[in-house]
Amino acid sequence: MAIDYSQLDTARSSAESAQKNALDYSAKGISLPDQLRKALGERYGESGMAQDAATARTDFMASAPQGRADVMGLINQGNILSPTQQQSILAAKRSAALVPLIASNLNQQAAFGNIDDLVGAGTRAFQAQTAQQQGLAELAQSSYTNLLSELFKRAEEERAAEMQPYDIAYRQAQINNANNSGGETASERLASETRQLIQEASKLPQNKRRAYILANGYNPDDDDFSGLFKEKGLPTSAATALKTTGQADDYIVNEQGRLVPKPKVDKKFWPDWMPGAPFGVR
């Protein structure tokens, strides 16, 4: 079955997207408490409860002077008020102003509660969402890694299936080679190959033997090949000296470009009448 690499692309994209979301949540969580405090302050200011509380406090603070002014107004109008009556009137004025103040305070506390508690609750809720996003990112990454491993495994299995016929043929060739070697050891086969190479190289001019040995994967500087490069005879520069001494006719140039003595001819009786008799033997 062919491998569908589009699944891998989809899994990688999902993992990258989940990781990005997790990073965004983590970054926003750092400034969240400050943002919550700012939002609560703005919401509190827009509700009008702060203005109501301020009015209630002002009225309460003004209730005592206003009560005394009202009592003096009654007295100036000819009403006779005892000290007890005057205190009762002042207390009633203060109580009437205190009720709206208490109510506004209760409303604020009921609506917003403690600011720190609200900020803490919001922060914890966001932290829970951040943890959820991180969990989703880890899950997506794990899914991508598992899919990648599965695809690699399937690719290896398909490659092994494709290579199996070649492996079988190679092993059979090794078996055949071992059977044809006649039971030779590795060292014996190497020695046989070396002898064969020396034999073939000796048929070449000396200046070509080194390249031939290298082309066959051997080192021409090994001791096994030293006999192929021994210089035999005299250098051709010695030809002048041989002429001077009258020996030039006794030497020839061999295939290595050296001066070597001519092969000796065994002297034997050659009748003058026999054709092909060597010169000087008749």
Please tell me which residue, 214 or 189, carries the higher pLDDT value.
214
Task: Tell me, yes or no, whether 280 lies in a domain.
Answer: no
Q: Which domain does 256 fall in, by range?
A: 233-265
Task: Give the 3-state secondary structure of residue 215.
Answer: helix
Task: Tell me, yes or no, whether 272 lies in a domain.
Answer: no
Residue 169 reports pLDDT greater than 60: yes
pLDDT digits (tens, 9 = 90+) for 103-145: 777 777 766 666 667 777 778 887 888 888 888 888 888 888 8
One domain for residues 241 and 204: no
**CA-to-CA distance for 222 and 226, rounded, in angstroms?**
7
H-helix or E-strand spanning residue 118? helix 115-180
Task: Tell me, yes or no, whether 133 lies in a domain.
Answer: yes
One domain for residues 65 and 45: yes
Buried b / exposed e over 218-243, threshold 16 CB at 10 Å, is bebeeebbeebeeeebbeeeeeeeee
One domain for residues 23 and 106: yes
Q: Rounded to a whole number, what is the distance in angstroms from the first to the last CA of the chain?
A: 93
Whole-angstrom CA distances from 114 to 29, 99, 105, 119 are 21, 22, 12, 9
Lowest mean pLDDT among 15-29, 53-67, 164-178: 164-178
One domain for residues 254 and 226: no
One domain for residues 90 and 209: no
One domain for residues 116 and 208: no
Task: Tell me, yes or no, whether 281 lies in a domain.
Answer: no
CA angle, corner 91, sides to 90 and 97, nearest 5? 95
User: How many distinct structural domains can be found in the chain?
Assistant: 3
Q: What is the rounded (10 degree) CA torsion for 196, 200, 206, 211?
A: -80
Task: Tell me, yes or no, whether 192 lies in a domain.
Answer: yes
Task: Tell me, yes or no, whether 153 lies in a domain.
Answer: yes
